[in-house]
């Protein structure tokens, strides 16, 4: 008599995930008792559907704000100066169109300080990252979160503050033919200082000489700051707080052997090694969400009242490059993932 070996494809119901969402895994079971879990087919280099929605909010905000300004602002009554990149205060179409508005002066101008405070408050208070308020407890998750923050901060410094001399924003302006325009009323004094002023290598030095940028392409530093800062806060907080499958388990990673797997294989389940269930909305989360939401609002105001379409677009592109390096490259490169990790994993 011949014994036939049969293979049956079955659906195995698993216990609810840490986020409360039931998981079902397709497997192949044989009469030998061995079970094989099918690997996800999605690419580790691409965002999940929920991440796509989150990321799409940014270009949507820039387009909506720019269209709103184009359709509602009377350019005759409120002329926009491309030299100063702003409206004259007495003719500004809105309070938020004035550079002196309180949100621009005390929030956007000090934006990285607010983002840093919110980030650190979240990292050192959310229980999914380590003991609350214990700044000496550097758990793996906490160290990796700080590493991600360090890399994003390095991008911010290079783009807007210093990059082996002038920052990338100012270098780009000079490379596209820009220079510092003298604005002195005394023509003789202007001729004497013109040579030095034109050679000012940074926006700050230009203003110090009484001039303004003119003639080049100015990547929007405000758009870069507001996009990269708020997106970093969303990426860090949402997976740990919400625990939605689309933000945690739905992510794909590439293992050392080149196999694409679900990020769930590297997620420490609640209760393991003393890590509590990561569904806690404390002051750290509230502060993070407040700063991120305020950044989104000021991004809309920047889109509506400052910079040209192309300047806003390039600011968004540069910010997207920084975010991709920190939050997506580690999924496809195990060596980078060991250093930077992934939020919520």
Q: Which of 126, 203, 209, 307 is catalytic?
A: 307
Query: Which of 207, 105, 192 minimizes the C-alpha distance to 113?
Result: 105
Sign of CA dihedral 344, 143, 269, 265: positive
Instruction: Tell me what percent of the chain is helix, strand and coil, each rounded to the nearest 5.
Output: 50, 10, 40
The secondary structure of residue 278, as a DSSP letter, is S
- Both tokens of residue 240? 């740990």
HSE (CB half, 13 Å, CA atoms) of 293?
A: 6
Q: Which string of b and e fits 9-42 if b means at least 16 CB within 10 Å?
A: eeeeeeeebbbeeeeeeeeeeeeeeeeeeeebee
The secondary structure of residue 258, as a DSSP letter, is S
Largest separation between any pair of C-alpha atoms in the chain: 110
Distance separating alpha carbons of residues 40 and 106, to the nearest angstrom? 46
> Residue 12, SS3?
strand
Whether 203 is a known active-site residue: answer no
Whether 91 is a known active-site residue: answer no
Catalytic residues: 222, 307
């Amino acid at each position: 008599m011949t014994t036939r070996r049969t293979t049956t494809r079955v659906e195995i119901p698993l216990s609810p995930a840490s986020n409360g969402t039931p998981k079902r895994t397709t497997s192949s079971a044989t009469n030998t008792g061995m079970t094989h879990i099918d690997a996800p087919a999605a690419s580790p280099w691409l965002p999940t559907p929920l991440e796509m929605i989150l990321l799409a909010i940014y270009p949507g905000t820039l387009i909506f704000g720019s269209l709103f300004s184009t359709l509602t602002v009377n350019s005759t009554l409120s002329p926009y100066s491309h030299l100063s990149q702003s409206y004259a205060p007495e003719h500004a179409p809105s309070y938020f169109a004035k550079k002196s508005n309180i949100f621009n002066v005390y929030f956007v101008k000090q934006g990285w300080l607010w983002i840093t405070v919110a980030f650190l408050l979240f990292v050192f208070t959310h229980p999914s990252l380590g003991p609350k308020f214990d700044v000496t407890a550097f758990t793996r998750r906490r160290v990796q979160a700080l590493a991600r923050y360090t890399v994003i901060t390095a991008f911010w410094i290079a783009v807007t503050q210093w990059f082996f001399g002038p920052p990338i924003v100012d270098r780009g302006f000079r490379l596209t033919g820009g220079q510092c325009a003298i604005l002195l009323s005394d023509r003789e004094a202007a001729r004497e200082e013109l040579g030095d002023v034109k050679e000012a290598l940074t926006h700050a030095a230009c203003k110090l000489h009484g001039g303004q940028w003119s003639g080049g392409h100015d990547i929007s530093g405000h758009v870069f700051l507001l996009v990269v800062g708020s997106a970093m806060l969303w990426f860090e907080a949402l997976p740990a707080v919400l625990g939605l499958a689309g933000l945690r388990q739905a992510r794909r990673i590439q293992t050392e052997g080149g196999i694409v797997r679900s990020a769930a294989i590297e997620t420490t389940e609640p209760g393991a090694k003393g890590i509590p269930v990561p569904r806690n909305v404390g002051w750290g989360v509230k502060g993070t969400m407040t700063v991120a939401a305020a950044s989104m609002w000021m991004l809309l105001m920047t889109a509506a009242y400052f910079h040209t379409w192309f300047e806003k677009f390039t600011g968004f592109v540069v910010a997207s490059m920084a975010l991709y390096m920190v939050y997506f490259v580690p999924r496809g490169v195990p060596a980078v993932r060991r250093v930077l990790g992934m939020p919520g994993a």
